[in-house]
Every structure is written in C-alpha cells, then in structure tokens.
C-alpha cells in the first residue's frame, strides 16, 4: 500500500509487533491509561486511551464522528513529546477532529492516508490553562503566537513525520493542523513554513511567551518581528 511507513508490512510482521510491544511499555511508564482493542485495518498496535489524557495534555474530540482508535505510536508521541513542549506554551488541551479513518489522501486515489494507520490527528484548536481557545482558523493567519510557536516546537521534537498547517499547506489544511506521528523507519518530512518565525526569533518568542529570561529580551524580540506583515501579532508583544 502506497504511503506505508518504511519497513511496515500488512499484516504486521514480527519486527512491527515487537515495536508495538515496546511502545505499549513506554505508555505504561508515561502513565497513559490505554486499552488494547481488536485489530483495525492497517493499524500496527491499535489502542484507545480511556481518559484521552496524554501526560499534561488532554485531547477533546469536537469535530467529526468515528473511531477514537489510534496506533500506540501516536499516543506515545503525544504524551512523551507534544505534552512537554505545549506545556511550555501553557497549552493543556487539544480540540481535534479526525483521528482514525480508513481512507486515501484527498485527491490521491490509492495513496493511503496516515489516518488509516491511526498515526494522524487533525487539530482545530489549542486551549490554554486560562481557558483561552486558540482556533487555527482564523488565528493562524492573524498571527496567533501560540499557534505559530506550537508549529515550530512540535516540528522540532522529531517525534512527528510531518506537521501540515495553514502556513505550509494552506489548501487542504487551511483550518487545522495535521499532526502525524513518526513510525520507526520514517524520516521527518521538512516543510517550508510561511508565517511562523524561525531561528533566533523563535527562541526569543519562546522565552517571552513562556515568561522566561530577562525582561529586556522583549525588545530584541520586537526587532525580530519588525518586518512582519501588518496584522500579525508577534509573540514578543504578548502580555501574560
């Protein structure tokens, strides 16, 4: 099947089964409350997370219907990698749509969507500990720094094969983030991001948004955003 992770077969071979067992052990160490569920088409290690809590991160399904089954690799990436970086942005909840669905990529017949493998999740909003909802649409294009920094930091964890957003795939992903866990053998797919900051500016944004570092950093961060398009809200101007 086209778009299967490198080294994956269907049905799963012994290497995949062993990788799944190791992943489940990792979930136990991470404190994730999971249940193994019957085999689903093309999912290596199908599970459900009983309370939809992944470390400090809660996932709420607010759009679309269907299975909450996911591959263990997605649950592990959320708890081990996404939760810590999002906690630094004071994000506690993801509001999501589709997780598992047996389908092809839109407009590409025969090319399997990673949703079919239980490795992908569509995120429509991030919610802060103060209850503020950061909607991908229209917030991303309006320059919401939480969304922009989440894009950068999630991409830098190395746990996700690809992260598609309105900044790098504005057509089909104009209103949500497509977060896709990296299976063993997969490489991280780099995507040019139009809209999010990068390099030293991103580091300054993280420090100012998270409230760390000396107050004077805010002035340097403002310089980083001096050339931003009108209407874009720089993280450096955000007040807690």
Domains in the chain with CATH codes:
14-194 (3.30.1380), 197-240 (no CATH)
Q: What does the alpha-carbon distance between residue 61 and residue 97 come to, in Å, rounded to a whole number?
A: 6
Q: What is the mean pLDDT of residues 200-222?
A: 51
Whether cis (ω within 30° of 0) applies to the bond prior to 11 is yes
pLDDT at residue 7 greater than cutoff 80: yes
pTM score above 0.85: no
pLDDT at residue 201 greater than cutoff 90: no
Q: What is the mean pLDDT of the chain?
A: 81
Q: How confident is the model at residue 1 (pLDDT cuts 50, 70, 90)?
A: low
| % of the chain with per-residue pLDDT over 70 | 76
| % of the chain with per-residue pLDDT over 90 | 51
pLDDT at residue 133 greater than cutoff 50: yes
- Among the listed residues 159, 158, 167, the one whose alpha carbon sits nearest the alpha carbon of residue 191: 167
Phi, psi of 24 (to 5 degrees): -65, -40
Half-sphere exposure of 212 (CA within 13 A, CB side): 9
- A 10 A CB-CB count for 3 gives 14
- Among the listed residues 122, 106, 15, 30, the one whose alpha carbon sits nearest the alpha carbon of residue 70: 122
Name residue, tokens 């025969």.
110
pLDDT at residue 197 greater than cutoff 80: no
Coil vs helix vs strand at 75: helix
pLDDT at residue 94 greater than cutoff 50: yes
Q: Among 1-5, 173-177, 193-197, name the most confident range.
A: 173-177
The pLDDT score that the predictor gives to residue 190 is 65
Strand partners, 122: 178
pLDDT at residue 230 greater than cutoff 60: no
DSSP code at position 142: H
121 burial via Cβ count (<10 Å: 0-12, 13-18, 19+): buried
pLDDT at residue 220 greater than cutoff 60: no
Say how far residue 86 (Cα) sits from the centre of its chain. Answer: 10
pLDDT at residue 214 greater than cutoff 70: no
């Amino acid at each position: 099947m086209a778009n299967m992770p490198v080294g994956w077969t269907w049905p799963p071979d012994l290497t995949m089964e062993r990788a799944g067992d190791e992943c489940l052990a990792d979930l136990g160490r991470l404190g994730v409350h999971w249940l193994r569920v019957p085999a689903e088409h093309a999912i290596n290690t199908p599970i459900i997370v009983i309370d939809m809590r992944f470390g400090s991160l809660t996932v709420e399904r607010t759009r679309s219907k269907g299975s909450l089954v996911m591959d263990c690799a997605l649950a592990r990436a959320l708890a081990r990698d996404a939760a810590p970086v999002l906690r630094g942005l004071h994000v506690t909840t993801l509001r999501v749509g589709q997780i598992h669905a047996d389908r092809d990529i839109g407009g590409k017949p025969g090319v399997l969507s990673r949703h079919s493998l239980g490795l992908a999740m569509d995120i429509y909003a991030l919610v802060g500990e103060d209850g503020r909802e950061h909607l991908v649409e229209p917030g991303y294009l309006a320059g919401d720094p939480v969304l922009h920094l989440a894009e950068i930091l999630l991409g830098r964890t190395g746990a996700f094969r690809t992260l598609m957003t309105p900044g790098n795939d504005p057509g089909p992903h104009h209103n949500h983030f497509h977060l896709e866990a990296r299976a063993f053998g997969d490489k991280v797919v780099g995507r040019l991001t139009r809209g999010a900051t990068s390099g030293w500016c991103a580091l300054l944004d993280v420090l100012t948004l998270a409230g760390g570092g000396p107050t004077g950093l805010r002035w340097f961060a403002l310089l980083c955003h001096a050339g931003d398009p009108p209407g874009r809200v720089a993280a450096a101007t955000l007040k807690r």
